[in-house]
Amino acid sequence: MTVEELVAAVVALAIVSAKRLGAGLADRAMEGVEQSVADRLGRLYRWIAGRLPGEEGAAVVEEAGRSPAAQALLRRRLVLALGEDPSGVEELRVLLSPHAPVLAHGDFLLLEPSGIPRQLPLAVADFTGRDQELARLVEAAERPGVGRVCLVHGPGGIGKTAIVVQAAHRLMSSFPDGQLFVDLNGAEERPAAVGEVLGDFLVALGVARGRIPDDEAGRTRQFRTELADRRVLIVLDNAAGEQQVGALIPGGSSCAVLITSRQGLATLAVDERVALSGLDEGTAWDLLRRIGGGDRVDEDPESGRDVVRLCGGLPLALRIAGARLATFPARTVGSFARDLADDHRRLDVLSLGERSVRAVFRAGYQALTPLQQRAFRLVSALDTPDLPAWALSPLLDVDADAADACLEGLLLAHLVQARRGEAGGQRIVLHDLARGFSKERAAEQPGDESDSAVRRLLGALLSAADAADAQLRPAGARHSGRDGAVRRPPPDDAVAGDVGEAVEWFEAERVVLVAAVAHAHARGWWDLCWEITDAMSIALEHQWRWDISSQVHELALDAADRLGDGRARAALLRNLGEALRDSGSDVVRAAECFSEAIALFHGSGDAHGESDALGNLGILQRQQGELREAARTLTAAETLFRALPLERGLAWALREKAVISRHHADYTQALAQLDEAQALFAANEETRGIGWILRTRADTEKESTVGGCPLPRRWYAGPWPGHHATSRPAQDPRWAAARTHYEHAAQLLHAVRDHRGLTWATLGLADMALHEGDHTAAELISRALQETDAYGDHRGRSRALTVQALLHAEANRLSDAITLAEQALVGPRDHAGAAQAGFRLARLYGAAGRNHDVLHTLQQSRTHHHAAGMPFPDLADTELSRTLTRPAPRARRFRRHQ
């Protein structure tokens, strides 16, 4: 029958019975009395009235019994109503069927239960991913035994209902006695009443409403009785808590229950607990293409990937994004991605019709306590991807126990997430979309709520950074002027007690501290800005984070200048000089920073700062190969360190002087300086310093064995001051000692996460392997290059390239070898490094028969050797070049050192 024919039939019945229809007959039907024609007509009456607005519907039906015009009007109104709601057509067919009795319930007409309910919603046709989670649910629901209760929990919009319905459809054949489904409205202000849900379930199982107990406990008993011998699958969607679902779980072992909830329902006894997280990038991409149109997304894959990234793996966000693309085909994916990239508009863009990411977050937020709501607003106040869990205490200005309880509430509501940090302890993580909602809620509050909270947090971070910095700072004491900012004691477990803990703490909190500096500068909190920067400076050096160090120190210098604090400026210039020097990005400005810092420290009578700045300038001069100037500067620093006294600062100065002695081939003096430095570091229990001393000792022992010659004997058999061509390094006890010291240094430096020191120890071992013909040289160089590239160590990279060049040449790749060796000479000025790299390049040119290049490069190498005061063969360039102009040695069967 067409819609018009159905409407004509129902209107005809309405005309016949209009005088006799009334709410009373319909009410009798709902009470479960015997079916009759009058009951059917009563339900027909209610159905018609329900399809028309308000009291007007009943009036039109009654008038249809008396007026042909009213009959025509009723037909038109019903056809129009059914056109807007096609589901009503099927309801009407049921009403008119002589073989399908119906029950009226509320505003809906349901088939009279047959005792085998089929209530599952339609499974999502474009369901994507979640294969492992689906397999776990299906396996657990089919597992023999008592219970078989499965919980899927996670934040709103994560796809809990979709995966459970998908699993339920796969399980239908295993539960032939029916499937029950209910939305418990757990995220709403008024969750579903358990008693009403039980009543509906009992009706669906074939129980007449007249036989259903009035009280909840009675309904629970009857529900479990009805299911005792049936195999029924029960889906409880969107549960509010343990108490709500407890009465809806059958007592026997024949049924299975699938539950979804934003809460973890920690005290509920479940057989399988599945926590849903965001979709991975590949699955999210597939979902966006399936909904938004594969061809369309593929036309602009870069913008498509931006959409995926900005949706953060949240299925609801991806579905809305895909639906928007499908709904508005004239709009480009690129323009949609640009709108989505706007932090202030993102949640507006992720809304379509009744579907909204914001609404999902709002429902969870409104369910929180006032303290939890405030915590949720404040965790986004600092622009950082995560926070240590202890940060809630200063943010909220409550004790640690109250903060922990508050965090548990946020985690149970899935509005924030937690992960375990690498150094232990929980970290609070906000999904990017949740962060946007948090900022919206924060913007609705008075401005001082956020500012007061963040100032407390920054004060606590500064206190913790002070404690960690005291373990790392080489000069042994923090800058005396770093005491203007208001501090707040952090929890005991957030304070580093030794060097290892200090390294781990700074590694874990680096991003947070950088965000704190930027936030303090933006707010004009000058003391906090520069003091946090100064406290983290040594840690940034250890971590090779020179670009970050330069960035925060520029902000901190501006803060110090606004305060007019000369001592602060001096400390920051010293730190910035280290970052510029070690990164090689601007060694000229690095020297200027050190020089100004020395003058400022001297003018203020700060001998600690002056000696430290002098030592750092000496390191810069030594790294540039200006060894004579470096020796003078380091001697001045040494004098101050001894007068203070400042043992750790003295130890670092002695190490630098030992490097200079080694370059000058004064190995005895170098070892004596290292002995004194190592004793000082050991007395101060400074593991990192001992590691650097051992590495430098190994360099000295290795070079003393070969007289400083930069080439293995198989590459160069000519004269070199202090080295006999016939000697075999591996037979010298100094060579074995060097290996032992490199390996010990690597262990210590790895333990304190000193990437630079560890990499240079690796370079030393690689150089030894090259001399020995050990095949591990290639492995060690590959590892060192990865590290130097990752952290921007230009000097280390140059040294690694020269070793790799020789290995390539031995493998008959001479052209590649020369290219690498040439690259090694490009970078920051370093007479010592260029001296050795130039000599190796000259040898490669000689192997290629490029005699002119040999001579030119030898002259440059000689110049660098003399500028650095390093020994060089006392031969004419032409005579020396003849010793280098030979074929490259062929790759041998490298042996592994035992």
Reference 806, options 769, 833, 834, 832; nearest CA is 769
Query: Does residue 249 surpass a pLDDT of 70?
Result: yes
Amino acid at 619: I
How far apart (Å, rounded) are the C-alpha atoms in residues 395 and 478?
27
pLDDT of 27: 37
> What is the pLDDT confidence band of residue 601, given thresholds at 50, 70 and 90?
very high
Q: What is the mean pLDDT of residues 302-319?
A: 92
Q: Looking at 10-14, 29-33, 122-126, which range is the least confident one? A: 29-33
H or E segment to which residue 387 belongs:
strand 386-388
Reference 242, options 273, 218, 215, 212; nearest CA is 273
How far apart (Å, rounded) are the C-alpha atoms in residues 285 and 651?
56
Query: Does residue 24 surpass a pLDDT of 70?
Result: no
Query: Does residue 15 surpass a pLDDT of 70?
Result: no
pLDDT of 795: 87
Give SS3 for 380: coil
Q: Looking at 209-218, 636-645, 806-815, 887-896, which range is the least confident one? A: 887-896
- Confidence (pTM): 0.74
Does residue 530 contact residue 487 with C-beta atoms inside 8 Å? no
Q: What is the mean pLDDT of residues 50-78?
A: 65
CATH architecture for segment(s) 131-275: 3-Layer(aba) Sandwich (3.40)
Reference 514, options 473, 461, 561; nearest CA is 461
> What is the pLDDT confidence band of residue 34, given thresholds at 50, 70 and 90?
very low
How far apart (Å, rounded) are the C-alpha atoms in residues 159 and 173?
24
Q: Looking at 93-97, 307-311, 623-627, which range is the least confident one? A: 93-97
Torsion of CA 674, 675, 680, 684, to 10 degrees: 90
Scanning the structure block, which residue is given the tokens 């509050």? 445
How far apart (Å, rounded) are the C-alpha atoms in residues 816 and 806?
10
At 467-504, the pLDDT tens digits run 898 888 755 455 567 888 889 888 877 888 787 788 88
H or E segment to which residue 111 belongs:
strand 108-111
Does residue 610 contact residue 598 with C-beta atoms inside 8 Å? yes
Quick one: what percent of the chain has pLDDT higher than 90?
A: 59
Output the six-digit token pair for 399: 């004790």
For helices 499-523 and 687-706, angle between their N-to-C axes, nearest 10 degrees: 110
Q: What is the mean pLDDT of residues 287-302?
A: 90
How far apart (Å, rounded) are the C-alpha atoms in residues 486 and 131?
52
Pairing of strands 426-429, 417-420: antiparallel
Query: Does residue 386 surpass a pLDDT of 50?
Result: yes
Strands of the 426-429 sheet, one edge to the other: 386-388, 426-429, 417-420
pLDDT of 774: 86
Q: Would you give the end-to-end CA distance of the chain in angstroms?
A: 91
Within 8 A by CB and 6+ apart from 834, the residues are: 625, 825, 860, 861, 864
Scanning the structure block, which residue is given the tokens 């996460």? 753
Q: What is the mean pLDDT of residues 687-715?
A: 94
Q: Looking at 11-15, 116-120, 709-713, which range is the least confident one? A: 11-15
Q: What is the average pLDDT score of the chain?
A: 86
Tell me the HSE value of 368 on the side-chain side, using a 13 A CA sphere. Answer: 25
Amino acid at 32: G
At 122-134, the pLDDT tens digits run 888 888 899 999 9
At 329-382, the pLDDT tens digits run 888 999 999 999 998 889 999 998 878 999 989 988 998 999 999 999 999 999
Domain 368-445 fold is Arc Repressor Mutant, subunit A (1.10.10)
At 159-178, the pLDDT tens digits run 999 999 999 999 998 999 99
pLDDT of 451: 94
pLDDT of 296: 87
How far apart (Å, rounded) are the C-alpha atoms in residues 385 and 391?
13
Output the six-digit token pair for 416: 């924030």
Radius of gyration of the chain (CA): 39
Does residue 255 contact residue 233 with C-beta atoms inside 8 Å? yes
pLDDT of 145: 73
pLDDT of 79: 74
Query: Does residue 727 surpass a pLDDT of 80?
Result: no
Domain boundaries 694-884, corresponding CATH code: 1.25.40.10
Torsion of CA 641, 647, 650, 652, to 10 degrees: -140
How far apart (Å, rounded) are the C-alpha atoms in residues 575 and 579?
7
Within 8 A by CB and 6+ apart from 335, the residues are: none
Write a three-state SS string for 434-488.
Answer: HHHHHHHHHHCCCHHHHHHHHHHHHHHHHHHHHHHHHHHCCCCCCCCCCCCCCCC
